[in-house]
Amino acid sequence: MKKSLIIVESPTKAKTVAKFLGDKSSYIVKASVGHIRDLPKNNKKAIDIEGGFVPHYEIPPNKQEIVDELKILAKESDEVLLATDPDREGEAIAWHISELLQHDGLSKKPKRIVFHEITKSAIDEAIKNPRDIDQNLRIAQEARRVLDRLVGYDLSGLIWKKVRYGLSAGRVQSPALRIIVEREREIQKFNPETFWVITADLKTKNNDHFTLTCSEEPRDKKTVDDILGQGKKGQWKIVDLKATEVKRAPRAPFTTSTIQQTASSRFGFTPSRTMRTAQKLYEAGHITYMRTDSTNLSQEALAHIKDTISKEFGSKLIQARFYKTKSKNAQEAHEAIRPSVFSKKSAGTTEDQKKLYTLIWQRTLASQMTDAKILRTKITANITKGTIPNFTVNGSHIIDQGWLLADPTAKNEEVDLPKVTSQDPLDLEKISSLEKETQPPPRYTEAGLVKELEKRGIGRPSTYASIIKTIEVRGYVEKEGRALRPTDTGEVVSKFLEDNFAKYISDSFTAELEDQLDEIASGKREYKKTLEDFYTPFSKDIKSKEKIKKITNLGDADEKIKCPVCGKKMIIKLGRSGKFLSCSTFPDCTGARTIDGKELAGPKEIGEKCPDCKDGQQVEREGRFGKFISCSNYPKCKFIKNSENNQNSSGVACPVCKNGEMVERRGRFGIFYSCSNYPKCKNAMKAKPTGRNCDYQRESGKCGALMMAGTKTIPERCSDKTCPNHNPHKLDKE
């Protein structure tokens, strides 16, 4: 009997595919657990620029066991089918697997199979139609990876030297940061203007009460007082009444961009949370592939949609629609995001998954339904004698729900107005004014930034979530509610790039480079020439900036604020926690203040030598999470004293170095636990260790990693993310 090895990316996807294939004797489904090769961290080894931008790939240590298993299974199988995701990254993963297997002496060439939904019919059809790996797609992904590495390392290296150690820049993250910083500058430059909103509470002859608003918003108090005066004295009446029937069409099925925006506005999901949830739904076979620019629906899907609409809402509400894809370079996934099985109204194992699935189900059905019909009414009133502006109120009432039956959350609030006719008299109950100020443009939310990036052609669907996550993790932006606000560090980095590399972080350049990558994917452009055309001038520009002075002074502080030590003027500098005020005579004087003017205590020697470098003194410093003791030679020496004052020990020995203890620490993402011998030992976990070792039996033997505290429903789990016992709730289901 023929035996086939099918390789996918994730264990969850592997289980779902295996479930549909059924015959375990004919098919083995295994997961590569993402990429099995990557560029090394050492940039000198990563890319051979002179040889034609040839990347050098390495197998990460934690993937060697997976690779070895795949090689053994491949040799034991009659054919190898690579069923990685249907996009460029999936094509690249398939190629890497194929290269490794063939390099190990596999005689049969692995074949590529593609499906956009994990259903039995889609998998069977894909197996019947295997193909070779699409080298154009693979090379396009490789070009993106190489470009991102070259830009990231070269720009980041320069920023380390000229701004501050540890900062970074990126080909796509930096334009995104610039957009946020530019909006912040608009807000800072904005000069608010005072205006007044005037409202009149009126009563009809049938004693119905309603409020109308002045059609003009005066900018001066004299005009306001005149309107109020005439309004109080005058006799009011209805001067106009308009009722208009309008149609409200449904929106297109979801793309990657629109699902991120809608999930943010309805549920408050971040783009990364939305994509993480959608990935789980896809891998479980509930929805089609979630990275797509396309709004298309297959003929088979349309037939199922019509059947479902007919059963749920009636055949009269069916209206076939075709939506034009907005992206000029719609990516490889040929369909919009839709349910795999339309008879399922609900799917998913978590609350997030259920919410997102319902949203997808509702949007997909609504996209093929009739328009909603809404009656919009506008009442206009004024005084019989006078010269004041009209007062108006708008009402709306749904007269035919149409597609809103499928997506009721999309309904706008109805506003009912009293029944009146033109020239009807009205009684004034109250007329009043409210002073307001014009508001600056709002800061971008994550959903708003996704929309803006798509509009400007920066990035692609698969990159939006990672772009936003990167600038947040780097500390370049922070969230205030849902709004994204640039930090001091983000503003300084963006200004440095705008002043020195404006071309490379501009909208036009970034979008043009994305188009070139799309041309590589379609076979219209060469890999080497594209990278040469970009990197030759870019590397020269990097070298030309090597001699510019380091940015140590961001401007003078307020003249009223003086150095707390010597009394001289202060300047603004950038530290790890943002901007602060430093004495202008530094390093002769070490006086410092917060950006608000509060005095900062400098490092204080405690009278002990550093045990690591033997040269420095141990000093007490004040960090963002409180006081700690370190070496005076920081950052050359990274010694941190392990004392009861700055660490809470868990009492659990570190299983890696054997002589340290797991201690509580606080980072930018909150409390975590790591070895007390850091940085010599970098063993770390995100929750408190319980003291037990994981006894899960892996192929290489017992796992042995520390167990850590979990949640109420999962009280304990393995700290090793690669161990199946890291998710014990899934083991129970198996």
Catalytic residues: 289
d(CA 347, CA 353): 7
Give the whole-angstrom CA distance, residue 301 versus residue 117: 11
Token representation of residue 687: 């929750």
Cα–Cα distance, 155 to 725 (Å, whole number): 40
Q: What single letter denotes the amino acid at residue 268?
A: G
Q: How far is Cα 120 from Cα 105, in angstroms, rounded to an integer?
A: 32
Cis peptide before 603 (omega within 30 of 0): no
The dihedral region occupied by 475, where left means phi > 0, alpha psi between -120 and 50, and beta the remainder, is left
CB-based contacts of 289, cutoff 8 Å, min separation 6: 85, 86, 87, 116, 117, 282, 333, 335, 337
461: helix, coil or strand?
A: coil
**CA–CA distance, 459 with 12 (Å, rounded to integer):** 28
Tokens representing 148 are 């991102």
The amino acid present at 641, given as its one-letter code, is K
How far apart, in whole angstroms, are the C-alpha atoms of residue 284 and residue 683?
33
User: Is residue 714 classed as helix, strand or coil in its secondary structure?
Assistant: coil
Which residues, 6+ apart, have CB-to-CB distance to 235 below 8 Å?
383, 384, 385, 425
H helices present in 474-552, as ranges: 488-501, 507-521, 527-544
3-state secondary structure 546-605: CCCCCCCCCCECCCCCECCCCCCEEEEEEECCEEEEEECCCCCCCCEEECCCCEECCCEE
Q: For residues 686 and 672, give the distance between their C-alpha atoms in angstroms, rounded to a whole number.
A: 5
C-alpha 534 chain-centroid distance: 27
Taking alpha carbons only, the member of 252, 368, 254 closest to residue 320 is 368
Scanning the structure block, which residue is given the tokens 């040889």?
A: 51
The b-or-e profile of 137-148 (16+ CB within 10 A means b, else e) is bbbbbbbbbbbb
Q: How far is Cα 251 from Cα 722, in angstroms, rounded to an integer?
A: 41
Tell me how far apart the alpha carbons of residues 65 and 61 are, in angstroms, rounded to a whole number.
8
